[in-house]
A and B are shown apart, each in its own frame.
Chain A
Amino acid sequence: GQQLNQSPQSMFIQEGEDVSMNCTSSSIFNTWLWYKQDPGEGPVLLIALYKAGELTSNGRLTAQFGITRKDSFLNISASIPSDVGIYFCAGQAQGGSQGNLIFGKGTKLSVKP
């Protein structure tokens, strides 16, 4: 089935550093969502984007819906140890069936104190 290309697969950074990750698709998306998953837990919604070009912040997190509607990025500023986890992008493709969110394979973030 359709998949999103999420990169990088993993990141090892020092506390205080900024982080950037992105997702790309070969098709147009109507919605982009960013989730974080802690070990043994379900994904938790961080940011939702609904319009091309939209830039939305949630505390130290900022995400953007790409102008081409085929990509999105997530930035985390001044990372802290509790940012550790797996970050997933997800989206609904234009013309896709309602309810069918497509997920990227995740970016695993490790933060060294």
Chain B
Amino acid sequence: DSGVTQTPKHLITATGQRVTLRCSPRSGDLSVYWYQQSLDQGLQFLIQYYNGEERAKGNILERFSAQQFPDLHSELNLSSLELGDSALYFCASSVTINSYNEQFFGPGTRLTVL
């Protein structure tokens, strides 16, 4: 158990819909990272938040957004969903702002878009 929690574990929805994925980092970790894992693309970094502020952006679509709240939990919002958005979404956390510090991954949310 990494100490990072994610809900829900599974999510099935239809194209065009909007969903919210939730992540709670390890106790004491200020950085939260979101990743998308699909079969053909591997693990792709989406976005990082540190202590409530956006710090780095990766391959995140404009239809996707995230935020980190004062209690440090984070939410990833996916809207206007397409079939291709079906994937595993992982949240990771680390102590500092920098990925020099190891990132600890949650168990993931499996999103299926029908």
**What is A's interface to B at a CB cutoff of 8 Å?**
1, 30-31, 33, 35, 40-45, 48, 50, 88, 90, 92, 97-106
Contacts and interface: CB of A to CB of B under 8 A. Distances in A.
Among B42, B92, B97, which residue has the most Cβ atoms of chain A within 10 A?
Answer: B42
A99 B98 contact: yes
Contact of A102 (B31, B45, B55, B104): B45
**Contact size class for B?**
20 to 34
Contacts of A101: 33, 45, 99, 103
Given A41-B107, A42-B107, A98-B97, A88 B43 contact: yes
Contacts, number: 73
A31 B96 CA distance: 15
A100 B56 contact: yes
A45 B104 contact: yes
9 contacts: A30-B100, A42-B2, A44-B2, A45-B104, A98-B99, A99-B56, A101-B99, A103-B45, A106-B42
Interface of B: 2, 4, 31, 33, 42-45, 48, 50, 55-59, 90, 92, 97-100, 102-108
Contacts of B106: 42
A100 B45 contact: yes
A98 B98 contact: yes
Nearest to B33: A99
A87 B4 CA distance: 20
A79 to B, nearest CB: 23
